[in-house]
Chain A
Amino acid sequence: MIRLPFLLFFSAVLFSAGIYGVLARRNAVLVLMSIELMLNAVNVNLVAFGSFLQDAALTGQVFALFVITVAAAEVGIGLAIVILIYRNRETINVDEVNLLRW
């Protein structure tokens, strides 16, 4: 049994790596992957607390499963958007995708 703080620390590192990826990478596919990292960090947290609290209903674990499912759908949509952007603008560099500007 791994102790909770380690798991939380691991989750935090994973989350921070995800944030870094989202904020720093220019490639839209990599940004999506970084979002996956953040979601998985959350999943780790959920499962860790679920296990820690000995929850008979396994709420944390079930919730993690939901997040995975929703994340799969989200990535599907995200990649579809990326493809559409690429088709329109010949690039997937997020710096150049500034249509929502003032």
Chain B
Amino acid sequence: MVGAQEVTGAIADPGLTSLAWIVVLLPLVSFFLITFFGKRLPAGGAWIGIGAMALCLAISLGILLHFVQGGEASEASVSWFRIGPLEFELGQLVDGLTAVMLVVVTLVSLCVQVYSLGYMHGDARFTWFYAVLSLFTGAMLDVVVANNLFQLLVGWELMGISSYLLIGHWWEEKENSNAAIKAFITTRVGDVPFMFGIFVLTVAAGTSNIGRISEVAETGEASTLLITAGALLLFGGAIGKSAQVPLHVWLPDAMAGPTPVSALIHAATMVAAGVYLVGRMFTVFVHAGDVALDTVAIVASVTMLIAALLAMIQDDIKRVLAYSTVSQLAYMVAGLSLGEAGYTPGLFHLFTHAFFKALLFLAAGSVIHAAHTNNMSEMGGLRKMMPLTFVTFSIGSAALSGIPPLAGFWSKDEIISTAFREGNYFVWAIALVTAILTAFYMMRVVLLTFFGAYRGHGHPHESPPSMTGPLALLAGLSVVVGFLGAPQLNAVFADWVHFGEEAHAEPFSYGFAAVSIIGALLGLLVGYRLYRGWRERDPVRRLGPFYTLLERKYYLDDVYLKGIVRPLQYPIPRAVDWTNQRVLDGAVNAAAWATKKLSLGVDVVDKRAVDGAVNGVAFGAGATGGLLRYIQSGNVQRYAVFLFVGVAILAIAITRF
């Protein structure tokens, strides 16, 4: 448990850091409360989770206010345990990035929880769902405030397990539980390098404290090779959690979970953790060899493009959004890969994306809730039946497409223009192409879902207020949060989240903005031209063999399944079975046999030796007693003889010797 209360914070601001603690602990407490008492409470304990999250949001806003007023970052920790020379701490590092993330996570989680009141109404495991939502959020908050890598890892892994539980929430269907397993194992593949990255950096710095590791990386106390290796291994973890190529395959399948969960995973928790990790450990990446950031840039560029292409052809509305998330995450990572200048844009995109992606998912959930299908080919014309959902979804789509002045425009434009300014034309070109594709597929989704004639068979109607309320809130935020990073309005976001001592906002260039806007409009226009009217045969099918390639998801799933999963799936159990049958059972049986033989031996020893000894003693005592009893004749005079003989012997003995 927590040891002595030794505060090691450089800048002591106990108020700020203890507030951060409360934000982490509240959802965890709520998890336990809901788990144990939820079923006995009205509404299955959902209000505990919502209340806790509202409180967290209030506290987070308070923390953010501290930074809005130009407050200092602070760090505090208590020692947790010690292994040899390594001391592990439990602590919290609260700076601008933390504050922003706290607000994003708690806000999105709050919206999701309120929304779930309607969406999950009547679900068999409603209470458990809320419990895990709380756990999930708490785990993410732990990642956000952690001041050392081990504490971060704890939250990271807790997120892994809670995402597994939530994606497989409707496990009655095999497909869903498979998706949960896939998500868990795929991210786990990334966790292995992540853990090794932690080991490498901990060894390099002699502590797992993030500030200290950054210092070591910056001053060059540890060899560049070690830092580079650490950065690349950490990025392995980010690849898994943030669904970058080649481990992106789990995210679209994770759509099997309830839609609010998708919103949570895609906007605030889980996938954001990978990007956040890169942001948090940014010093390490910057001071590692060039290969580190180059790798990040390549992975991000490839991911953003192939995911955007995949998003174009999906029929499942949630899968479009899922691939779009993969692509947008790659945007953030690409932003970070641009080096110091890309730090603020990359994380700003993480910030804005959280709002409109949560909005899009929740709106999609509202659509699915009404239409009882995920397939856009069975939707259409929902604009009239669900006006609020339509408006909010359109705002989210426009924000994602990068239409000014919505949130996505500011952050995306910042990344694209920074890429050009930093001379990274490769990233710039791909980001621009991706922006066009993004606008295209979002146009496609909006047209297929909300326009034309209704092609389904139900009677869709607008969702209850508990669902539309969060939609309206998020839609409003998706419109305004972009201005936080708008250079015309002093780019306040850069004051909170910046790399190094000084915030250096990139100058706004109308030329670059024009290029981004033209790209987005181009995508929208093409989308509009192709999907204006409903066609039985999706126009993207004209891509021919390329369509097949996309439909098969570049055959990556097949490669993984046939190349890795199947070869391992059967031989390993068989080997385990063999080991079980032959080696383990053999050992067990041999042990039993040996025990039996041994007990026979012991039995003999028992009967002969031990019993013999006991009986022998008894018999011996009896025999001697039998002999000695003859002395007890009762004849007083004979006793007297013994007495005198004894005295005589003693007398002789004493006098002689």
Contact = CB atoms under 8 A, between A and B. Distances in A.
B contact residues, range: 10 to 19
Contact of A23 (B630, B632, B637): B637
B644 A98 contact: no
A8 B116 CA distance: 123
25 contacts: A19-B644, A22-B637, A22-B640, A23-B637, A23-B640, A24-B637, A31-B637, A94-B636, A94-B637, A95-B635, A95-B637, A97-B634, A97-B636, A98-B633, A98-B634, A98-B635, A100-B634, A100-B636, A101-B632, A101-B633, A101-B634, A102-B629, A102-B632, A102-B633, A102-B634
A11 to B, nearest CB: 15
Contacts of A31: 637
B641 interface: yes
Nearest to A22: B640
Contacts of A100: 632, 634, 636
Contacts of A24: 637
Contacts of A57: none
Contacts of B644: 19, 23
What is the interface of chain B mostly: helix, strand, loop, or mixed?
helix
B643 to A, nearest CB: 9
Among B632, B633, B634: residue with most chain A CB under 10 A: B634
A53 interface: no
Contacts of B633: 98, 101-102
**A-B interface, 10 closest residue pairs, ranked by CB to CB distance from nearest:** A98-B634, A101-B634, A102-B632, A102-B629, A100-B634, A23-B637, A94-B636, A22-B640, A98-B635, A23-B640
Among A24, A94, A100, A102: residue with most chain B CB under 10 A: A102
A99 interface: yes
Interface residues of A, number: 13
Given A98-B634, A98-B635, 6 more contacts: A22-B637, A22-B640, A23-B637, A94-B635, A94-B637, A102-B634
Contacts of B637: 22-24, 31, 94-95
A47 to B, nearest CB: 21
Nearest to A94: B636
Nearest to A35: B640
A19 B632 CA distance: 21
Interface in A23-82: 23-24, 31
A74 to B, nearest CB: 15
Interface string B608-637: 000000000000000000000110111111
Contacts of A94: 635-637
Nearest to A19: B644
B203 to A, nearest CB: 86
A11 B640 CA distance: 20
A22 B634 CA distance: 15
B634 A99 contact: yes
Contacts of B636: 94, 97, 100
A44 to B, nearest CB: 18
A98 B632 CA distance: 10
Given A95-B635, A100-B634, A101-B634, A23 B641 contact: yes
Contacts of A23: 637, 640-641, 644
A33 B361 CA distance: 126
A72 to B, nearest CB: 21
A21 to B, nearest CB: 10
Nearest to A25: B637
B12 to A, nearest CB: 93
Contacts of B635: 94-95, 98
A22 B641 CA distance: 9
A101 B634 CA distance: 4
Contacts of B641: 23
A31 B641 CA distance: 13
Interface string B631-653: 01111110011001000000000
A98 B636 CA distance: 8
Nearest to B648: A19
B639 to A, nearest CB: 9
A82 B216 CA distance: 111
B638 to A, nearest CB: 9
A98 B634 CA distance: 4
Among B629, B632, B636, B644: residue with most chain A CB under 10 A: B636
Contacts of A22: 637, 640
B161 to A, nearest CB: 83
Contacts of B632: 100-102
Contacts of A19: 644
A95 B639 CA distance: 12
A43 B97 CA distance: 116
A22 B635 CA distance: 12
A99 B637 CA distance: 13
A97 B630 CA distance: 16
A100 B635 CA distance: 8
A98 B644 CA distance: 20
Contacts of A99: 634
Contacts of B640: 22-23
A23 B630 CA distance: 19
A24 to B, nearest CB: 8
Contacts of A95: 635, 637
Nearest to B641: A23
